[in-house]
Amino acid sequence: MDQAYTEIIVVRHGETAWNANGRIQGHMDVELNEVGRQQAALLADRLSLEPEISAIYSSDLKRALETAETIAERCGKFEVIKDPDLRERHLGDVQGLLFREAAKVCPEAYSAFSSRRTDQVIPGGGESLDQLYYRATSSLQRIGQKHTGERVVVVTHGGVIRALYRRACSNRFRGNILNTSVNIFHLSGNDVWTIKAWGDISHLNPPGHAMSGLGGNKTSG
């Protein structure tokens, strides 16, 4: 690899039961479901066939950590480095609620959660988008500086990946962040972030296999 940048493969965790049911996760520590474990295994198989990985980082929440550990086992038995700064946004009082019921059950928190204001915190200890942005981008910047000239994997959450996109592209990404989607960032020594790949889930339907139904198009978290 070019010694002038770090290649960081940022992936979202596999599916959870709460993703499947439309329940808001945030910092709630939810495990992968069986579909999520299959997604993680397919992602791990893919990454094991690609150029060498130097390190694997993960959010310390179970859904990300299990995804990362699956990759680590397949790619050389790495010890996963846990970083709480890679956690999903804390979503305050809407955590644990179904999306379809949140506005009725907790209208003030849901209004804050839905706000486009980047400085809007969420009642119940929730973070603003700006707080998430600073936390997430600082974490990735530290990883990039530590691994210049190397290729590393980071397993995290939908909200974090949106924040990283905002740092690289100076605007907000409004589409879906899919379960186990691959998003490749190049971080250069002169503080320039470039996205080289985005939203790739080709591993979930590999050539020669029937459509798996593991497409990962679930709510972020």
Catalytic residues: 13, 88
Closest CA to 135 of 170, 91, 87, 171: 87
Tell whether residue 68 is among the known ligand binding residues: no
Closest CA to 144 of 186, 99, 115: 186
pLDDT bracket for residue 148 (50, 70, 90) = very high
For residue 220, what pLDDT is reported? 54
For residue 211, what pLDDT is reported? 41
Q: Taking residues 198-212, report their average pLDDT.
A: 75
Tell whether residue 19 is among the known ligand binding residues: yes
Our count of domains for the chain comes to 1
Tell whether residue 14 is among the known ligand binding residues: yes
Closest CA to 40 of 4, 64, 6: 64
Residues of the domain holding 183:
5-92+128-204
Percent of the chain with pLDDT over 70: 93
Residue 195 located in a structural domain? yes
pLDDT bracket for residue 219 (50, 70, 90) = low
Q: Is the pLDDT of residue 210 over 60?
A: no
Q: Taking residues 184-211, report their average pLDDT.
A: 86
Residue 113 located in a structural domain? no
* Token pair of 86 as six digits: 């890679």
Residue 18 located in a structural domain? yes
Residue 211 located in a structural domain? no
pLDDT bracket for residue 119 (50, 70, 90) = very high
Tell whether residue 12 is among the known ligand binding residues: yes
Tell whether residue 7 is among the known ligand binding residues: no
Residue 82: phi and psi, rounded to 5, are -85, 130
Q: Is the pLDDT of residue 212 over 50?
A: no
CA 173 remoteness from chain centre: 13
Closest CA to 94 of 18, 155, 11: 18
Beta bridge partners of 23: 98
Tell whether residue 18 is among the known ligand binding residues: yes
Tell whether residue 117 is among the known ligand binding residues: yes
Q: Where are the beta strands (DSSP E) in the chain?
A: 5-12, 55-58, 81-82, 151-156, 182-188, 193-200
Q: Is the pLDDT of residue 43 over 80?
A: yes
For residue 46, what pLDDT is reported? 97
For residue 3, what pLDDT is reported? 73
Q: Is the pLDDT of residue 159 over 50?
A: yes
Give 99's contacts (C-beta < 8 A, 6+ positions apart). 22, 23, 24, 219
Residue 187 located in a structural domain? yes
For residue 174, what pLDDT is reported? 82
CATH of residue 38's domain is: 3.40.50.1240
Residue 82 located in a structural domain? yes
Q: Taking residues 59-66, report their average pLDDT.
A: 98
- The answer to whether the CB of 12 falls within 8 A of the CB of 161 is yes
* Token pair of 209 as six digits: 């296999």
Residues across the chain: 221
Tell whether residue 16 is among the known ligand binding residues: yes
Residue 172 located in a structural domain? yes
Residue 121 located in a structural domain? no
